Structure 1
Amino acid sequence: MARSQLLLSLFLFISISETISQSIIQLSRDHDDVYCSSWRFSEETNDVGYWDHVPSRCVSYVQDYMTGDGYRSDSEVVASYALGFAKTVEIAGDGKDAWVFDVDETLLSNLPYYALHGFGANSTREEVVITIFFGTIAEFTDRIDCSSPLKLSEPFDDLSFDEWVDLAEAPALQASLNLYKELKQLGFTVFMLTGRSEYQRNATVKNLQLEGYSDWERLILRESSDQGKPATLYKSQRRLELINEGYRIHGNSGDQWSDLSGFGVSERSFKLPNPLYYIP
């Protein structure tokens, strides 16, 4: 009898301990989600200032956001407001009514790259990322080097990103592609102003065309004289050049504040979400 009571007590103790442990873990995760939601809000509004990696406690949160409905919905809402504004613009018909787009995380998504380098919380790749952008794991592994495990959030690495750009396989951000096509139909002259360098022109043009972008007026990339300039300065100078050419920049879409701020700014700016990296 005493032995039975002892076993029962031990069973109850283990069960209660497991329940308490699971509750503590869930509370910790819930607390992290609340904090990370606030962190994402602060980085999107530029209150965080300069940052070079996702906080370790927010890696899973960012991964879930970027591969779930949140990122897609936020991008669609921004695009809808941009289109709503665009429809109020009276197009003069002289080809000078302009809209400026950034490229990375605006027209093209580098999420497959960051699935390997930017936000992973586990030691293996998340199949959801592969499925969203490539359809099958086989297609993904044919296009990306999968010899190394998924890494935790890490600082930006120019060399590995350049290799990814050379593949010309970044998928279109669908909300931006739809907006782009609508703007062309409305009669806007579209410029692409990217922080990519001139030597990446061919790969960038190929990627954009493969993803459905066409008939842009000019793709502006960093020249040798632009190397080392902060993005805000470089993009401001290029926008000012367009204004001096007589273009009226009504709208500007980008995922970084450095895409939108500075001088030579547009009439309206539209900030897309990006909790993956920050470019000053």
Structure 2
Amino acid sequence: MLLLEANIVEQISSVGTHPPHVEQPLLAARGSEAAATAAAAAEHGGSGVEPGLRCELLPQLEGGGGDEQRAGWRTVPARCVLYIESYMLGGQYDRDVETAVECIVGYADGLVVGDDGMDAWVLDVDDTCLSNLLYYQGKQFGYGAPFDPTAFKSWARRGICPAIPQVLILYKKLLERGYKVFLLTGRDQETLGATTTSNLILQGFIGHERIFMRNKTYRGQGAVAFKSTIRKQLVAEGYRIRGNVGDQWSDLQGDCVGDRIFKIPNPMYFVP
């Protein structure tokens, strides 16, 4: 969901419920922006946002229908493409990420970091640390063709994903505070390991404790199962996962999710 202007902020209870450890800095969609997007879609030959199809829920940070809509889509409906494009490129996405990061930093700064070096944070990589906006923009944000894993792998192999600047700031602040940072991604270790590591370093993600990727042991596992296994491994090693950051709910669900989870908005795709 979208960041609200101060005069139309709604209480989180009006949107729905969520687990108590979920941090939700962003609340409901802006009706004025949704109306403007619908009008623009009509000008481009579309019918706007039809009843039951709420494009404005796609960047949501709170379970309110967006994920349920996307879960049944192989491609993004034509009438939502303009909305996603406007959200991602018009400045609202950047402002929402900045708000989320401010919330995360406030939480992290309020914790007491132990002297044993076992206070940890887990961060996802794709569209949490590194942006794939250029790739999805070239694919019309998912309109017309389903996700193409071969094409995405070719993109990732180029190693040119830019950092999401607000998250890079967060990353550095966590390290400065003495937290151990672990990066956890569903990317394939064998084919994308070296490129991903290099890409992260070139973009300034230096100093993390470890990066976990899928190896042959985890191929075929869903995101929740794979990431749960890795987090359980960290807890078994004695780490205290104080926070967990990702752009997909599947980054933040399952076992050993941490003391608090934080979702970065992403209307471009859905990973179950």
Same fold (TM over 0.5): yes
Cα distance, 1:264 vs structure 2:
1.0
Equivalent residues in 2 for 1:19-30, closer than 5 Å: 25-26=42-43
For structure 2, the residue ranges without an aligned partner over 5 or more in a row are 1-38
- Write the deviation string for residues 123-148 of structure 1: whole angstroms up to 9, x where unpaired: xxxxxxxxxxxxxxxxxxxxxxxxxx
Q: What amino acid is the match of 1:272?
A: I
Larger RCO (CA under 8 A, 6+ residues apart): 1
Equivalent residues in 2 for 1:164-179, closer than 5 Å: 164-179=155-170
- Write the deviation string for residues 156-210 of structure 1: whole angstroms up to 9, x where unpaired: 1111111111100000001100100111111110000000011211000110011
The one of 204, 229, 243 equivalent to 1:237 is: 229
Cα distance, 1:117 vs structure 2:
1.3
Secondary structure in 2 matching 1:115: helix
Match of 1:39 in 2: 57
Aligned-partner Cα distance in 2 for 1:213–1:41: 25
Match of 1:269 in 2: 261
* Native 8 Å contact 1:255 1:271 kept in 2: yes
1:28–1:219 distance in 2 versus 1, CA, 3 Å = same
The one of 126, 130, 152 equivalent to 1:108 is: 130
Q: What amino acid is the match of 1:241?
A: Q
Equivalent residues in 2 for 1:89-104, closer than 5 Å: 89-104=111-126
Secondary structure in 2 matching 1:225: coil
1:43–1:214 distance in 2 versus 1, CA, 3 Å = closer
RMSD between aligned residues: 2.5
1:168–1:218 distance in 2 versus 1, CA, 3 Å = same
Q: What amino acid is the match of 1:103?
A: V
Aligned residues: 228
Aligned-partner Cα distance in 1 for 2:138–2:243: 33
The one of 176, 192, 199 equivalent to 2:183 is: 192
Q: What amino acid is the match of 1:208?
A: L
- Write the deviation string for residues 38-59 of structure 1: whole angstroms up to 9, x where unpaired: 4326686263332433222100
Secondary structure in 2 matching 1:263: coil
Cα distance, 1:26 vs structure 2:
4.8
Cα distance, 1:32 vs structure 2:
3.0
Match of 2:153 in 1: 162
Match of 2:17 in 1: none
Q: What amino acid is the match of 1:244?
A: A
Cα distance, 1:222 vs structure 2:
0.5
* Native 8 Å contact 1:95 1:188 kept in 2: yes
Q: What amino acid is the match of 1:100?
A: V
1:24–1:179 distance in 2 versus 1, CA, 3 Å = closer
**Computing the radius of gyration over CA atoms, which structure comes out larger, 1 or 2?**
1
Cα distance, 1:155 vs structure 2:
1.3
Aligned-partner Cα distance in 2 for 1:180–1:59: 31
Cα distance, 1:93 vs structure 2:
2.0
Equivalent residues in 2 for 1:14-163, closer than 5 Å: 25-26=42-43, 31-32=48-49, 36-40=54-58, 45=63, 47=65, 48-49=67-68, 50=71, 51-119=73-141, 152-163=143-154
1:68–1:262 distance in 2 versus 1, CA, 3 Å = same
* Native 8 Å contact 1:44 1:273 kept in 2: no
Secondary structure in 1 matching 2:226: helix
Q: Does 1:212 align with 2:230?
A: no
* Native 8 Å contact 1:60 1:119 kept in 2: no
* Native 8 Å contact 1:118 1:276 kept in 2: no
For structure 1, the residue ranges without an aligned partner over 5 or more in a row are 1-21, 121-151
TM-score computed with the length of structure 2 as normaliser:
0.77
**Percent identity over paired residues:** 40
1:161–1:46 distance in 2 versus 1, CA, 3 Å = farther
1:36–1:46 distance in 2 versus 1, CA, 3 Å = closer
* Native 8 Å contact 1:54 1:153 kept in 2: yes
TM-score computed with the length of structure 1 as normaliser:
0.75
